[in-house]
């Protein structure tokens, strides 16, 4: 769930539906570097909607689910981006519930312009977050898909895979096959191949366990979701999901449940 999903989606309904569908982990966005930004995140607090986040967290835990708080940094203000990540680890709901893990969404080049400044900022940010939260707190790195990077390698030269491997516990490639238009000529860009190969490559590049993310939910089909899950599972991921909850059609849940076996 991202910040856009907070609008009109009640935790009591959302968690009940997720539990019925077999969801075991909720990835809940807590803020982004552009906050404050109108109704999306109206305050400049490190957690954009603390009361709502607390409600989701408590209800998810009551349903037996784990919750990972994730943040999208811009890397132009390192102190801000580190502080907002650490805020996930230190957050407590009204009833004292805390996030089970945090994850950093590594993708925005807006504030660095990309290239070496972007790569250096990724490594510095993750190192500072790890130092702040301690060695035992679970940290995930949400990264662009390795196969997507291979299409324009010049845009991703020097991406800090090894540093990510040292600072994170799990790597989560955004294997959004819906962006690939060359399935007919390149089987690795089809849903099955994209799920399998991105899982394999993310593990090879970082040495970490892999939670593979497919999507985008409103631009895929049930057959494609089935192929994606089958391909990803053949590479033995730690977990898998689809981006995102609100765009997941009812028919997608049955194949997605394959990640639970």
Pairing of strands 209-215, 239-243: parallel
Output DSSP code: residue 3. G
Are 67 and 99 in contact by the 8 Å Cβ rule? The answer is: yes
Distance CA 80, CA 82 (A): 6
pLDDT tens string 11-56:
999 999 999 999 999 999 999 999 998 879 988 899 999 999 999 9
Does the pLDDT value for residue 157 go beyond 90? Answer: yes
pLDDT tens string 223-245:
999 999 999 999 999 999 999 99
189-197 mean pLDDT: 98
Q: Which residue has the tokens 């892999």?
A: 210
What is the value of pTM for the model shown? 0.97
Sign of CA dihedral 224, 229, 232, 235: negative
Confidence band of 261 (pLDDT split at 50, 70, 90): confident
pLDDT of residue 44: 86
pLDDT of residue 239: 96
Q: What is the mean pLDDT of the chain?
A: 97
CA contacts within 13 A on the Cβ side of 25: 20
Q: Which residue has the tokens 């990835």?
A: 27
**Domains of the chain, residue spans:** 1-137
The H-or-E segment that residue 45 falls in is: none
| Topology (CATH) of 1-137 | TIM Barrel (3.20.20)
pLDDT tens string 94-126:
999 999 999 999 999 999 999 999 999 999 999
């Amino acid at each position: 769930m991202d910040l856009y999903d907070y609008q009109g989606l009640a935790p009591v309904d959302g968690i009940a539906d997720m539990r019925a569908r077999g969801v075991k982990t909720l990835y809940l966005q807590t803020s982004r570097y552009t906050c404050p930004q109108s109704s999306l995140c109206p305050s400049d607090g490190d957690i954009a909607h603390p009361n709502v986040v607390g409600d989701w967290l408590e209800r998810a835990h009551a349903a037996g689910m784990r919750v990972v708080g994730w943040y999208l940094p811009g890397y132009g203000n390192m102190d801000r981006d580190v502080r907002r990540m650490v805020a996930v680890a230190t957050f407590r709901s009204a009833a004292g519930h805390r996030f089970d893990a945090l994850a950093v969404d590594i993708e925005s080049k807006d504030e660095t312009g990309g290239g070496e400044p972007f790569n250096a900022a990724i490594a510095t940010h993750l190192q500072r977050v790890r130092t702040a939260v301690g060695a035992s707190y679970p940290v995930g790195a949400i990264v662009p898909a390795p196969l997507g990077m291979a299409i324009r390698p010049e845009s991703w030269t020097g991406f800090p895979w090894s540093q990510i491997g040292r600072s994170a516990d799990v790597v989560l490639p955004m294997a959004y096959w819906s962006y690939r238009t060359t399935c007919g000529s390149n089987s690795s860009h089809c849903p099955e191949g994209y799920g399998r190969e991105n899982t394999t490559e993310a593990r090879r590049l970082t040495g970490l366990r892999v939670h593979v993310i497919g999507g985008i939910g409103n631009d895929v089909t049930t057959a494609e979701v089935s192929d994606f899950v089958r391909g990803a599972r053949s590479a033995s991921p730690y977990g898998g999901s689809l981006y995102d909850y609100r765009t997941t059609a009812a028919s997608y849940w049955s194949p997605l449940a394959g990640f639970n076996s």
